[in-house]
Structure 1
């Protein structure tokens, strides 16, 4: 997955409008117009780097005359104190763009780093780590990009590209059908036959409903490892199985060894800790 230039420009422009507004009053009031600077960005902890193009776009929009150079690529591992980029040109421009550039880099590197940790825990199994729609409003494309940089796989982009029947859909359908899971799958296949249909199930009875309805993809919600292993046995390859709920780094390997195809992890984007980076102007 690559970041669209249009998305880069739009997201960065919004971030700069929020932060810079009518102007950087501190820098304008204290730094001479002709002051020059050479700066570098370095990691302050081990991480998987992600978001360098956003750094470049930030400084490009602030001042196209700035020179930005990358010393690593997105996906590379960085050690503490390792320099990942340099910026040269107007000191005013560097100071004005510093925080927005770092915010993007820190957030996306945090997602890539956590994703990589999950991916490494399931190495040797067939399970893929998926993201979710639990993303920061307006930043979904960036955060899903960071998941791929960390070695994860993107689930649906939004409500428009894949059917996923969740528990609240089933609550409504239960008013009309005694077996809402099977009814939901049949309706989805009839009304949107070209779109992949996934349905959430909470137990093995609902799993059987989904299989009877012909679901291609089934989400196993908050099941125990033993229940998931049994679900894999019952399904016998007739549908893709996704584990979801209660997934963390301590448990993910055991989930993967049940034989599920996918493990979705909302924490990759909804509660990830940003990686610490710093921008320093050389004296």
Structure 2
């Protein structure tokens, strides 16, 4: 996983690029009709139900736009919200508040939707030992926000990107000439380049699970599109040799059944790629 410093750097890049994209050479709507001396206050109004996420992100955006803006929070990231709740007040330069408004809302609406869906999946897994994971199926350019939202919702992060963990999937295996060759080549590569990265290997059937188990040093086996019966068999075969992960088309109707097969993790791209933004607005008060 990436370090806190790397994660912070990703957030800084997201904010810097988003403001560049949205503001350009100036917020001419505000510059045209609001004096630069004007001050005001706005509230973050919740117009939906779910789990709020992005309060911390909003603070970072306001600080980037204008370090003199003051934020008074009433609800914390990860807490349940309902229609009519007010998450925070922001006060200071009216121009600065308006300049930051859209980025704050865009980020928080998506983050809250992801946190809400993740929390729903987490509750479906209560009483099992299985944890829900996100994937790399994220919106290009804002992965850090979406993975942050998964954590706020009670889920766990999978690898952040291609560089912080090795995952040998079906195409890697086929291009490399088979599972064993792919694993051997990977382990040699990591040693030659002094890289300390965990290795996950995808299995498409029970025979591939058996083949993977012939190699040492595997962190986790990903059981891709396995049936419930084969998942139970795979978990028994693997034992405590390494961790297990189920993936592939798992939804709210099947997630509990896969967890009851005994896997350590279930990964779902739907946490980030199939959500509807929470309705939030920033209103002057």
Give the TM-score normalised by structure 1. Answer: 0.91
Q: CA deviation at 1:164?
A: 0.8
Aligned to 2:206: 204
Paired residues of 1:47 and 1:109 also in contact (CA < 8 A) = yes
Q: CA deviation at 1:5?
A: 4.5
Paired residues of 2:107 and 2:145 also in contact (CA < 8 A) = no
1:162 maps to 2:165? yes
Q: CA deviation at 1:55?
A: 1.2
Q: CA deviation at 1:279?
A: 0.9
Aligned equivalents of 1:211, 1:95: Cα separation in 2: 57
* Count of equivalent residues: 277
1:142 maps to 2:140? no
Aligned to 1:216: 219
- Where in structure 2 are there 5+ consecutive unaligned residues? none
Give the TM-score normalised by structure 2. Answer: 0.90
Q: CA deviation at 1:207?
A: 0.9
Aligned to 2:185: 187
Paired residues of 1:39 and 1:281 also in contact (CA < 8 A) = yes
Aligned equivalents of 2:64, 2:198: Cα separation in 1: 40
Q: CA deviation at 1:117?
A: 0.9
Match of 1:101, SS? helix
Aligned equivalents of 1:89, 1:145: Cα separation in 2: 28
Decide which of 55, 59, 64 is 1:56's aligned counterpart. 59
Aligned to 2:104: 101
After superposition, where does 1:53-92 map in structure 2 within 5 Å?
A: 53-92=56-95
Match of 2:214, SS? helix
Q: CA deviation at 1:23?
A: 1.2
Q: CA deviation at 1:2?
A: 6.0
- Where in structure 1 are there 5+ consecutive unaligned residues? 175-179
Aligned equivalents of 2:187, 2:37: Cα separation in 1: 65
CA deviation digits over 1:134-178, x for unaligned, max 9? Answer: 12222222222211111111111222222110111122123xxxx
Match of 1:111, SS? helix
CA spacing shift, 1:119–1:21, aligned 2, 3 Å: same
Match of 2:281, SS? strand
Aligned equivalents of 1:165, 1:54: Cα separation in 2: 33
Please, what is the CA RMSD of the aligned residues? Answer: 1.9
1:173 maps to 2:176? yes
Q: CA deviation at 1:243?
A: 0.3
CA spacing shift, 1:183–1:274, aligned 2, 3 Å: same
Aligned to 1:120: 123
